[in-house]
Structure 1
Amino acid sequence: MVSLEERNFFPSLERNVTPTPSGSQVVSYSSDLGDGGPIVVLIHGYPQSAFIWRHIVPILQPKFSLFIPELPGYGISSHPTVSKDYSKRAIGGAILDALYSAWPTIQEVDYRRAVILAGHDRGARISHRLAVDRDYYDAERGLNIVATILLDIVPTKVQWDLFGQSPSIATGYFHWPLLANVELATHMILSMGGGNWAKLALRLAGTNEKAKARIEEHGAVDVYAGLFNKAETIRGSCEDYKAAAGVDYDQQVEDMKAGRKIDVPTLVMYSAMGIGSKSDVPGAWKEWVAEGTVLEAVAVEDGYGHYLPEEAYDIVSEKMLELLAKYV
Structure 2
Amino acid sequence: MAVTAYETVTLSSVHGFLKRKETAVKSCPKVVSYTHDTGRGPVLMLVHGYPQSSFQWRHLPGYGISSPPVEEPIQCATMGEPLIHACMELFPGRDMIFGGHDRGARVCHRITLENAHWPDAPKVKLLGCVLLDIVPNLEQWKVFANPKAAVAYFHWPMLASPLAVPLMEAFGGDKMTHAGLDRISGGNEEARARFQSDRSWDVYKSLYARRETIQGSAADYNAGAMIEPDLQVEDQKAGRRIEVPTLVAWSTRGLGSMHGDVGKIWEDWVKDGQPLMKVPCGDDVGHYLPEEASDLIARKIVEFLDSIGV
SS at match of 1:51: coil
Equivalence map 1:126-275=2 (5 Å): 126-135=107-116, 143-164=124-145, 166-181=146-161, 183-202=162-181, 203-275=183-255
Q: Indicate the residue corresponding to 1:63 in structure 2.
A: none
Q: Indicate the residue corresponding to 1:320 in structure 2.
A: 301
Superposed displacement of residue 119, structure 1:
0.4
- CA offsets, 1:245-290, max 9 Å, x none? 0111111111001100001111100000101011131221011011
Structure 1: 4+ residue segments shifted above 6 A: 136-140
The answer to whether the aligner puts 1:309 opposite 2:290 as a matched pair is yes
Q: Indicate the residue corresponding to 1:64 in structure 2.
A: none
The answer to whether the aligner puts 1:115 opposite 2:96 as a matched pair is yes
Partner residue of 1:98 out of 83, 86, 102:
86
SS at match of 2:283: coil
Superposed displacement of residue 224, structure 1:
0.1
Unaligned runs of at least 5 residues, structure 2: none
Contact 1:75-1:230 within 8 A present in 2 as well: no
Superposed displacement of residue 29, structure 1:
1.1
Q: Indicate the residue corresponding to 1:70 in structure 2.
A: 59
Partner residue of 1:50 out of 26, 49, 54:
54
Distance (Å, rounded) in 2 between the aligned partners of 1:14 and 1:208: 32
Superposed displacement of residue 7, structure 1:
6.1
Distance (Å, rounded) in 1 between the aligned partners of 2:152 and 2:19: 38
| Percent identity of paired positions between Structure 1 and Structure 2 | 43
Contact 1:17-1:27 within 8 A present in 2 as well: yes
Q: Indicate the residue corresponding to 1:9 in structure 2.
A: 11
Q: Indicate the residue corresponding to 1:32 in structure 2.
A: 37
Distance (Å, rounded) in 1 between the aligned partners of 2:9 and 2:104: 21
Letter matched to residue 9 of structure 1: L
Contact 2:116-2:243 within 8 A present in 1 as well: no
Letter matched to residue 145 of structure 1: L
Superposed displacement of residue 34, structure 1:
1.1
Contact 1:138-1:144 within 8 A present in 2 as well: no
Letter matched to residue 327 of structure 1: G
Instruction: Output the TM-score relative to the length of structure 2.
Output: 0.92
Contact 1:263-1:290 within 8 A present in 2 as well: yes
Q: 1:255 to 1:136 in 2, by over 3 A?
A: closer
Superposed displacement of residue 22, structure 1:
2.2
- CA offsets, 1:135-180, max 9 Å, x none? 369997552111011100000110011112x111111100000000
Distance (Å, rounded) in 2 between the aligned partners of 1:157 and 1:100: 30
Q: 1:2 to 1:101 in 2, by over 3 A?
A: farther
- CA offsets, 1:187-210, max 9 Å, x none? 111111111111111110001011
Letter matched to residue 32 of structure 2: V
